[in-house]
Amino acid sequence: MEKPKVEYIDWGRISYKEAWDLQTELQQEIIQEKRSGGLPTSKLIVCEHNPVFTLGKSGKQDHLLFDPTTNSKFEFFKINRGGDITYHGPGQLTVYPIFDLEQFKTDVHWYVRSLEEVVINTLSSLGLSAKRMEGFTGVWLQDNNSPIQRKICAIGVHLSRWVSMHGLALNVSTDLNHFDLIVPCGIQEENKTVTSISKELKTDVDMETVKSTLHNSFKEVFEF
């Protein structure tokens, strides 16, 4: 069986609303091509956003700990992905797979676990040992001698006719102070916090290196 084709696209720094609109257009184009009997090429999009908070369908707005109408530094959007509230901004690698899952596997649970696997493998290549956390979507770090569990990647997806959008947000050199303005992903346990690759490695990390490593990991996990 021929492997699926995926086009890799780097949008660079882009506003959240523009990226959301472009994602929606690409998703609909793939759906229409499928309806007409075609075999569409999926898209793998990477980008960084201006500072923004997004609230998923299952989220609570009181997890946003300030009034966004009084702070012009941040944008705020209620969106159609799963999950609660999260932050996007410079230094965070945001990844949007617009995948026709009928060419991969029509299983949402498998898809989300595969996204986690991509990130776990990427971090391993960069020298960090990451894992899943039972009951929590995303990718985490935890030292054997510490009770603190540190979230390094958030995941939230939306599917229509088995075509995905939204995706994952991996903290590379993100300003982690911005997470203090929300209850990240709705998680309020005292032993859970957020982290970044640069914080964990205690050094600056090249974004292009992370993009390339993650792209290779996507190709291995999703076999395209």
Average pLDDT on 160-184 reads 93
What is the biggest distance separating any 2 CA atoms in the chain, rounded to whole angstroms? 56
Residue 140 located in a structural domain: yes
CB 218 within 8 A of CB 118: yes
| Spatial CA neighbour of 151 closest among 167, 165, 170 | 170
Q: Is the pLDDT of residue 56 over 90?
A: no
Domain of residue 110, residue span: 6-222
Retrieve residue 38's tokens.
């075609």
Quick check: is 153 catalytic? no
Residue 218: inside a domain: yes
Give domain status of residue 133, yes or no: yes
Per-residue pLDDT at 130 exceeds 80: yes
The answer to the question of residue 67 being in a domain is yes
Mean pLDDT score, 82-87:
84
Is residue 1 included in any domain, yes or no?
Answer: no
CATH number of the domain where residue 193 is located: 3.30.930.10
Predicted pLDDT of residue 77 = 83
Range name among 22-36, 127-141, 185-199 with the lowest pLDDT average: 185-199
User: Is pLDDT above 70 for 129?
Assistant: yes
> Is the predicted pLDDT of residue 45 greater than 80, yes or no?
yes
Alpha helices in 80-206 (DSSP H): 108-125, 197-201
Q: Is residue 25 part of a domain?
A: yes
Task: Please count the structural domains in the chain.
Answer: 1
Whether residue 150 lies inside any domain: the answer is yes
In a domain, 40, yes or no: yes
Asked if the model's pLDDT at residue 10 lies above 80, the reply is yes
Helix axes 207-222, 108-125, angle to 10 degrees: 140
Q: Tell which residue, 194, 221, 47, 12, has the closest CA to residue 119.
A: 221
CB 168 within 8 A of CB 81: no
Q: What are phi and psi of 72, to 5 degrees?
A: -75, -5
- For 181, which DSSP code? G
The CA distance from 64 to 46, in Å, is 26
Check 172, 185, 194, 197 and give the catalytic one: 185
Residue 175 has pLDDT above 90, yes or no: yes
* pLDDT value of residue 67: 77
